[in-house]
Amino acid sequence: MSHSNQLPASNYTSPPGVRRVTELPAPPPRPMDSHKGTFGSALIVAGCEGMAGAASLAGRAALHGGAGLVTVAIPRSIMPVVASAHPSYMTLPLDENDDGRIRPSATAKLQEFFEKQTSVALGPGLGRCADVRETVQRLYANCPLPLVLDADGLNAFEGEADKLARRVEEAPRVLTPHPGEFSRLTGIDTKSIEADREQLAASFARDHHVILLLKGPHSVVTDGQRIANNSTGDSALATGGSGDVLTGLIVSFLAQGMQPFDAAQLAAHLHGLAGEIASIRYTDRYTTSLDLVNCLDRAWKQLLGT
């Protein structure tokens, strides 16, 4: 049985001037006469020494989200680990510093690689240092493609959230903070964020011209004009790497041509559904983020009613 496309009524009142979305978007189409190029190319810039798993999880999720081609760009030293974790994505080695984190010199190679891609994800497991901060800020400003910014990508803008602002005509940006990351971006404490999630999320999205997915129970998706609450998920999602799986799904849907708001909304729903299925299959205590990826097949079947 499939999940209904009608979302449950929210207990919240929409922020002033913001329209509440209560329908799920349709998944990207899969025509029978398609080929891998039909479904786009997703590039994921992720990982550092000690956090190769973040890159692998995001890459796996992008594949199982339906992207035709997935490339995981990682610091050169962890390429063997990430490449061996799954045979179906490609890898792109990047310049790194002495601590195994990407260096600003990697931007030239990545910008050249953008020409072959249809979407980009930036941030999972990159670590935090001056080199990462400079690299992320350069890529965010100059990438001509729809881009998902997550995890350490978001942390690279701590104290400089003004640099996240986009002109309306520029390539869209989807930001996926949890409350702690959103606090670092805004300077607002997490208790205040949790007390006013929708209003703060919508205001930030509107002021910066981005799509914001504020994670947590009933995750908020907003572009400042529309808002949706996710209806799926449970405590199985409360495990390291869960956000990397969500990032992989969003960048996959962007690669397949979905509009950014729709991509974020559908990815949150499917991600939560995989968590619910994992709780039944493994229990929420046992579930890891790899188990979430492995439950995406059942989540897809439930969503599609097959």
| Selection from 232, 270, 226 nearest residue 249 by Cα | 270
The reported pLDDT for the residue numbered 297 is 98
Cβ neighbours of 88 (radius 10 Å): 10
| Selection from 253, 243, 255 nearest residue 42 by Cα | 255
pLDDT tens-digit series, residues 131-163: 999 999 999 999 999 999 999 999 999 999 999
The reported pLDDT for the residue numbered 217 is 93
The reported pLDDT for the residue numbered 3 is 45
What are the structural domains of the chain? Answer: 19-23+35-304 (3.40.1190.20)
Contact 293, 277 (CB under 8 A): no
Please name the residue ranges forming H helices in 29-174: 52-64, 79-85, 106-113, 130-142, 152-155
- 270: tokens are 């499917």
Contacts of 28 (CB under 8 A, 6+ apart): 39, 66, 253, 256, 257, 258
The reported pLDDT for the residue numbered 13 is 61
pTM: 0.95
Q: Which residues in the chain come in under a pLDDT of 50?
A: 1-11
Q: What is the DSSP letter of 248?
A: H
| Selection from 154, 98, 90, 138 nearest residue 117 by Cα | 90
Residue 254 CA to residue 218 CA, distance in Å, equals 22
